Amino acid sequence: MSTSRNTVPDRGARAANFNPNTDVTTLAAPADVPESVVTLLDGSEVTIRVLRKEDAGLEREFIRNLSPESRWMRFLGQISEPGDALIRKLTELDYRRDMAFIALPRQGGVERAIGVSRYSLAPDGQSCECAVTVADAWQGKGLGTVLMRDLIDVARRRGIRSMFSIDANENERMRELARDLGFKRERDPGDATRVIHRLML
Ligand SMILES: CC(C)(COP(=O)(O)OP(=O)(O)OC[C@H]1O[C@@H](n2cnc3c(N)ncnc32)[C@H](O)[C@@H]1OP(=O)(O)O)[C@@H](O)C(=O)NCCC(=O)NCCS
């Protein structure tokens, strides 16, 4: 099992030999995952929908605006500036293997991303690796929970057996979120600084 979260967006695309320049059909967002509007704990309304290729700019700004701590927790290492290759991997998805949700506030005028959740099918075809990130100013309002629930729901409907996340030991917020969602926590056998949160679907 890989212990680099940076491989979440990579892995599915590589496993499927997916070429985003030629395989147009797989870029169409799935029709069976509707957009929804949720009310967060502070009363603000947020639209959640499938992340699409056209969201590249929103995704780039989202990562750029994360605090160093949130960025580190998400990518398990330093990503100073999200480059084009990373943004393509994060937004040009093969929805047969990958899924991602983006959260957008309904108030405020300017369109911006405030949360993203995603999974990518592992090479075994039975499990998927997930990641979730909420903009710093929006954390603690229930958005991470909603984004993960939507992701889990799709993974179940796709027949995936289990979902896992590789996280830093010290990531207390992810620990709480994962526990609340029913994930079990295990040591990462390959890296003592990390844990694996795993959910049977
Ligand atoms: C982990 C993360 C996604 C949680 O998102 P969130 O929107 O803040 O989560 P929620 O508001 O749904 O809260 C989930 C639980 O996390 C805990 N939590 C959330 N915000 C917290 C805060 N500011 N302080 C302490 N605990 C907090 C709470 O226990 C909460 O459960 P509760 O309902 O019992 O209060 C978010 O903190 C984040 O983006 N962190 C940086 C990236 C990251 O670490 N991603 C995870 C690995 S990919």
Q: How far apart are CA 144 and CA 101, in angstroms?
A: 11
Give the pLDDT score at 108.
Answer: 81
Class of domain 5-21+34-159: alpha beta
| H helix or E strand, kind and range, residue 200 | strand 194-200
Taking the domains of the chain in order of start, what are their residue ranges? 5-21+34-159
Which residue, among 35, 54, 148, 154, has the nearest Cα to 95 in the 3D structure?
A: 154
Closest CA to 44 of 130, 135, 131: 135
Q: What is the pLDDT of residue 16?
A: 41
Ligand 1 centre and the CA of 160: distance in Å?
A: 25
Q: What residues does ligand 1 touch, defined as CB less than 6 Å away?
A: 70, 73-74, 131-134, 139-145, 165, 167, 171, 173-174, 176-177, 180
Give the pLDDT score at 13: 32
Choose one of 74, 169, 170, 173 to mutate for the ligand 1 pocket test, by most ligand atoms within 8 angstroms of C-beta.
Answer: 173
Among candidate residues 73, 118, 94, the one with its CA nearest the CA of residue 13: 94
Q: What is the CA radius of gyration of the chain?
A: 16
pLDDT at 200 exceeding the cut of 50: yes
pLDDT at 9: 45
pTM of the model: 0.88
User: Band of the pLDDT at 26, cuts 50, 70, 90?
Assistant: low
Higher-confidence residue of 186 and 31: namely 186
